[in-house]
Amino acid sequence: MRTIQSGKGMVLGILGSGSGSNMQAILDAIAEGSLRARIALVLSDRKDAFILQRAERHGLATGVIDCGSWATKFPDEVQQATAERLLAAGVEWVCLAGFMRMIKQPLLAAFPNRIINIHPSLLPAFPGVAAWKQALDAGVGETGCTVHWVDEGMDTGPVILQGKVPVLAGDTAELLHQRIQQLEHRLYPAALQLLSQRENHQN
């Protein structure tokens, strides 16, 4: 049985496939003292993902998740190995930050109620890829981002925190994604701090 060391702050593992700006926002919140946490391990399924370079610049432990020739699948045995790496690094909370593969058992089983994702829409609207583009194409007046618990579905787990942004006349997909990301960078650390406080109250 693992002991959750909430008194010392959250021990985070980050999984990402892209630029890692959300991981950077988490690091910035830790540095400025608004989030009591540390990042123990950063893993990516893309060996050339910028998130790994960012993490290395900050002296963080990094690793590549090797899914072989599978472009989007996250095979069970690779999920098992990923869970073992995270546990061996002392990770207590797994944060998906632009990680583009579906999480299933056995990773879910290794971190029950401890895997969190950020998604660039007001879930349950626009799950899946390029949610900002889906919002633009649908012609909605506002969209946003959601921090939620991860379950076996695609962006279906219970919501922890949401924030809204307007869709403005003349928006391109890129402009809208930038506006959503500015909010993500505040929302993700805030959601983690909220979870940390909840945990401390329960202990």
21 near ligand GAR, judged by CB under 6 A? yes
Q: What residues contact residue 31 under an 8 Å CB cut-off, 6+ apart?
A: none
Question: Could you say which of 29, 97, 147, 167 contacts ligand GAR (CB under 6 A)?
Answer: 97
119 is catalytic: yes
Residue 169 CB, nearest approach to ligand GAR (Å) = 22
Question: Could you say which of 54, 101, 114, 119 contacts ligand GAR (CB under 6 A)?
Answer: 119
63 near ligand GAR, judged by CB under 6 A? no
27 near ligand GAR, judged by CB under 6 A? no
Q: Determine the Cα–Cα distance for residues 193 and 17; give it in Å rounded to an integer.
A: 23
157 near ligand GAR, judged by CB under 6 A? no
45 near ligand GAR, judged by CB under 6 A? no
Q: What residues contact residue 199 under an 8 Å CB cut-off, 6+ apart?
A: 4, 6
Query: E strands within the chain?
Result: 10-16, 37-44, 62-64, 93-96, 115-119, 142-149, 159-166
Cis peptide before 124 (omega within 30 of 0): yes
Contact 15, 21 (CB under 8 A): no
The conformation of residue 196, written as its DSSP 8-state character, comes to: H
Q: How far is CA 196 from the centre of its chain?
A: 16
Which of positions 126-155 make contact with ligand GAR (CB under 6 A)?
Answer: 131, 155
Q: Which stretch binds ligand GAR (CB under 6 A): 3-11, 20-28, 30-38, 157-165?
A: 20-28
Q: Determine the Cα–Cα distance for residues 91 and 114; give it in Å rounded to an integer.
A: 10
**What mask of x and - would describe binding to ligand GAR in positions 66 to 85, judged by CB under 6 A?**
--------------------
Question: Could you say which of 120, 144, 157, 189 contacts ligand GAR (CB under 6 A)?
Answer: 120
Residue 1 CB, nearest approach to ligand GAR (Å) = 31
Q: Cite the active site residues.
A: 119
Residues at the site binding ligand GAR, with contacts judged by CB under 6 A? 16, 18-22, 51, 97-98, 118-120, 131, 155, 181, 184
